[in-house]
Amino acid sequence: MSNKWNLIVDVDECINCYNCALAVQDEYAEMEHPGYTAPMPKHGHRWINILRAERGKFPIVDVSFVPTMCNHCDDAPCVEAAENNAVHKRSDGIVVIDPKAAKGQKHLVDACPYGAIWWNEIEEVPQHWNFDAHLLDEGWKEPRCVNVCPTGALKSVKVSDLEMSQIVKDEELETLKPELETQPRIYYKSLKSLTKVLIAGTLEKVSNGRTECAADIHVSLSQSGSPVAESVTDEFGEFKFDGIDRNSGAYQLNLMCNDISQKIVDVDVKNESLVLELDI
């Protein structure tokens, strides 16, 4: 079984430095790679596009950065939509848009459900990040974005599909929009900033007539009587539960005010993170 390229993006490690996006710019802007890509325009294209995912609200805000690019799907809608075999999947898993055969095929921009194809108005050709196929064919061991990432947030692996399935299982990797069933080869670790919501809050208490942060309070989260997670408020009286399914409905927060008294708070989880202001 032949080995194929995959990219693993660890969202927790991305610091939004933009090195990966700049490496793409440096490699392709106004630079032709015959047989692989026409020159990328100097402005306007983001073949690696770093999304900013913000959850919560003041004072508890969680910000993550999610690098996105062509997913090199095994079941790629762009391949289906292309005329004259202008887009094809190589045996090493990389999807390539032939710059000559794809000329004029603007409809390919809409064929990609991830928004990963950009229209080059000057060259009249659809373009995407092609995994630096020309460099790999020259013997590079990894694409440039991986090479320049200072934190190890990007890792390329060339393995068999069987080995990749094991890595996906072991490292609990996810893909973008799995419901589309396009079989992406770009995998994500810690994608919860895009897919899940937070239940967070601040606790205050009145002590000697003064309102102050309620630190070291045990907070537990349950749903329909089953425990979900536990936490203890920090010195600012803050607690946070991450990885909660969107629109997952009613939960109960149990605040242990002291050894004998507790307070139950009902919350309803919809599509957004919750940041509560509570007192005990």
Within 13 Å and on the Cβ side, how many CA atoms surround 153?
A: 23
State the Cα–Cα distance between residues 57 and 54, nearest whole angstrom.
9
Give yes or no for residue 154 binding ligand SF4 (CB under 6 A): yes
Comparison of 56 and 93: residue with beta carbon closer to ligand SF4 = 93
Comparison of 168 and 228: residue with beta carbon closer to ligand SF4 = 168
Maximum separation of any 2 CA atoms in the chain, in Å: 79
What is the DSSP-derived secondary structure letter of residue 206?
E
Q: How far is the CB of 131 from ligand SF4 (least distance, A)?
A: 10
State the Cα–Cα distance between residues 167 and 187, nearest whole angstrom.
10
Give yes or no for residue 86 binding ligand SF4 (CB under 6 A): no
Comparison of 151 and 211: residue with beta carbon closer to ligand SF4 = 151
Query: Binding residue for ligand SF4 (CB under 6 A) from 24, 60, 70, 82?
Result: 70
Comparison of 117 and 214: residue with beta carbon closer to ligand SF4 = 117
Q: How far is the CB of 137 from ligand SF4 (least distance, A)?
A: 18
Give yes or no for residue 18 binding ligand SF4 (CB under 6 A): yes
How many residues bind ligand SF4, per CB under 6 A?
27
State the Cα–Cα distance between residues 167 and 150, nearest whole angstrom.
23
Q: How far is the CB of 277 from ligand SF4 (least distance, A)?
A: 33
- As to burial, measured by CB atoms within 10 angstroms (0-12 exposed, 13-18 middle, 19+ buried), residue 129 is buried
Give the phi and the psi of residue 279 in degrees, each rounded to 5. Answer: -130, 155
Query: Binding residue for ligand SF4 (CB under 6 A) from 4, 45, 128, 240?
Result: 128
Query: Binding residue for ligand SF4 (CB under 6 A) from 66, 76, 82, 86?
Result: 76
Stretch binding ligand SF4 (CB under 6 A), from 32-40, 69-77, 198-206, 262-270 = 69-77
CB 38 within 8 A of CB 99: yes
Give yes or no for residue 25 binding ligand SF4 (CB under 6 A): no
State the Cα–Cα distance between residues 5 and 163, nearest whole angstrom.
12
- Residue 261 neighbours by CB under 8 Å, 6+ apart: none
Which residues are at the interface with ligand SF4 (CB under 6 A)?
14-20, 50, 67, 70-73, 76-78, 95, 112, 114, 116-117, 128, 149, 151, 153-154, 182
